[in-house]
């Protein structure tokens, strides 16, 4: 069965076409994506602006056509933080459905964390024991932990790399004062949740997902994506600290030239690294293993289970 998973994130619109078979992992067949940067198309009132709405409608309509051309019998379409938090979310969803015929489901932050956790559990299996999963998106940070396929506890915090960049670094390269203010604010927000997340115990296996973590791991010396998904990739805390010190003083165009960094995300790498550094420090993690599966795979796996 060929299924399309349409993910409208805060940074990117991404259609993943997969072949799903009972008793086998979903096999990617085609991918179609575009940088929408919806988190940066919120006006002063917190509404998705006209430019953002037009880009979203156009991409969703194009993704619908691509999914049909690739033979998808079903398209699972959802949106995350940028649409979820927009004050005009209902109007945006109605516009998209009216113009493209695609009904986007908005995932709550905790549901996003739960489905990402499911994907990580399926990838690494039961031998990982108690999992701690961290995902830095464009608009939010998701954290989940537990010993089963569903996490014992999960949370979503408004600490996405795109959101923080827009709010704290409006002129590009941050000043020392802007950097330090963000660093402390991020740590305070994560620390408010750390106690409840760790109350049931620590982690046997700490895992990171998302493009931000993958890019940071690559900058720290992890294998490039060309070597495939089965190569073990780690983000070490000490290596991240060194990378962060370099990134925070680089102009954006120089960051975009670094290995593993895409041009459309280069401007938010510093904010993403600040969040990753805070996570590893406050949860006392020496390293995070990077998982190639995340939210899209979690959505697909749950749908596959119900087939």
pLDDT digits (tens, 9 = 90+) for 230-288: 999 999 999 999 999 999 999 999 999 999 999 999 999 999 999 999 999 999 999 99
Whole-number average pLDDT of the chain: 94
Residue 157 to residues 236, 255, 261, Cα–Cα distance (Å): 23, 26, 24
Where does CATH 3.30.420.150 sit in the chain?
109-295
Looking at residue 8, what is its pLDDT? 97
pLDDT digits (tens, 9 = 90+) for 272-294: 999 999 999 999 999 999 999 99
Q: For residue 180, what is the DSSP state?
A: H
Q: Residue 33 pLDDT more than 90?
A: yes
Looking at residue 114, what is its pLDDT? 98
User: Which of 294, 43, 15, 17 minimizes the C-alpha distance to 166?
Assistant: 43
Where does CATH 3.30.420.40 sit in the chain?
2-106
Topology of domain 2-106 in CATH is: Nucleotidyltransferase; domain 5 (3.30.420)
Q: Residue 46 pLDDT more than 70?
A: yes
Instruction: Report the SS3 class of residue 122.
Output: helix
Tell me the CATH number for domain 109-295. 3.30.420.150
| C-alpha R_g of the chain | 19
**Whether the model pTM is above 0.75:** yes
């Amino acid at each position: 069965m060929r299924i399309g998973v349409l993910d409208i994130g805060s940074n990117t619109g991404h259609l993943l076409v997969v072949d799903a078979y009972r008793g086998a992992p979903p096999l990617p067949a085609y991918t179609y994506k575009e940088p929408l940067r919806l988190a940066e198309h919120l006006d002063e009132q917190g509404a998705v602006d006209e430019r953002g709405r037009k880009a979203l409608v156009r991409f969703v309509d194009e993704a619908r056509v691509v999914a049909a051309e690739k033979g998808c019998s079903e398209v699972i379409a959802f949106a995350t933080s940028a649409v979820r938090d927009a004050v005009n979310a209902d109007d945006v969803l109605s516009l998209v459905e009216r113009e493209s015929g695609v009904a986007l489901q908005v995932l709550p932050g905790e549901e996003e964390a739960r489905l990402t956790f499911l994907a990580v559990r399926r990838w690494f299996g039961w031998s990982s024991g108690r999992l701690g999963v961290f995902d830095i998106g464009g608009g939010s940070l998701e954290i989940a932990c537990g010993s089963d396929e569903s996490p014992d506890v999960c949370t979503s915090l408004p600490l996405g790399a795109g959101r923080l960049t827009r709010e704290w670094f409006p002129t590009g390269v941050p000043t020392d004062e802007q950097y330090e203010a963000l660093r402390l604010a991020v740590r305070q927000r994560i620390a408010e949740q750390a106690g409840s997340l760790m109350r049931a115990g620590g982690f046997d296996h700490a895992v990171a997902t998302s493009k931000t973590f993958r890019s940071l791991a690559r900058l720290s010396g992890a294998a490039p994506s060309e070597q495939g998904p089965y190569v073990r990739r780690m983000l070490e805390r000490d290596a991240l600290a060194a990378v962060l010190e370099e990134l925070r003083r680089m102009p954006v165009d120089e960051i975009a030239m670094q290995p593993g960094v895409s041009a459309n995300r280069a401007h938010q790498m510093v904010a993403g690294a600040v969040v990753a550094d805070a996570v590893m420090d406050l949860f006392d993690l020496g390293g995070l293993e990077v998982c190639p599966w995340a939210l899209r795979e979690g959505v697909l796996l749950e749908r596959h289970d119900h087939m």
